[in-house]
Structures are given as structure tokens and as C-alpha cells.
Amino acid sequence: MVAGTGGHTSYNLVSGHAFTILGTQVIHDHSGNVVERLVKMRNPWGKFMYTGPWSGHSGDWTAYYKSQVSDWRDDNEGIFFMPLDIWRQEYQAFTICHYNEGWATSSITGEHDVYESNA
């Protein structure tokens, strides 16, 4: 899956650039309540790291929250997490591509709220 930023971005994201969507992570507090829904992203350039909430060096990450991410890394390999609500603001498109013999293409366009999730 790939997501593309629009013409104006915040938090040091590269404008008009494609990023890889690696997955999602829900962070819970000690009582099991949802603290944040995060999207795990990768900048293939490995430069211009995201600097917003839940970025790699953000104070949002506690040892307990890091323990909920099985592959947490402190190094800068272009991989970062960002809150779903910020992801929805910063990325104007995303693409899911599956390869299959006899493949076909389809496209869906819609309003921003198409991506709303209750999960």
C-alpha cells in the first residue's frame, strides 16, 4: 500500500511524495482503553522524518507503549508512526495493489469520510 501527500504538508513530511503504508497499531493504556490509533509509514528516501505527535523521538512514547509494538525500533530507517487523524489530513490518496495472473484494475474516488473507521 502506498499513500501520497498533497501540495502542503506539516510535520516535516515531503510534499507530493509517496510513502509506504506498513501497517497500523492501536495503543492502549493500562486499563485497556484506546490511547491512539497509529499508522505505520515508511519514507523510502529515509530522510525528512515526520516530526509530529507519536514520531520516533516524541514524548508520547513510553516504555509501556513501545512494548505494544512488536518491531519497535529507535533507529532512523525512514519508518515512523503517526496518528490516524493526522494521516487523514496529510495524505490525499492511497493505493492498494495486488498482483494476480489475469489482473484487472478498478478505481474508487470519494469524500474524505470514506476512510472513517470505528475499529
pLDDT tens column, 93-118: 667 776 667 766 666 665 554 444 44
What is the tens place of the pLDDT at every residue in 38-78?
999 888 777 667 888 998 888 999 999 999 998 777 666 78
Cα-to-chain-centroid distance, residue 53: 12
Cell of 3: 499513500
Question: In angstroms, rounded to a whole number, what is the distance separating the alpha carbons of residues 69 and 87?
Answer: 19
Domain ranges for the chain, please list them: 2-110
Nearest to 65 by CA among 53, 77, 76, 75: 53
The CATH homologous superfamily of the domain defined by 2-110: Cysteine proteinases (3.90.70.10)
Give the global pTM: 0.71
DSSP 115: G
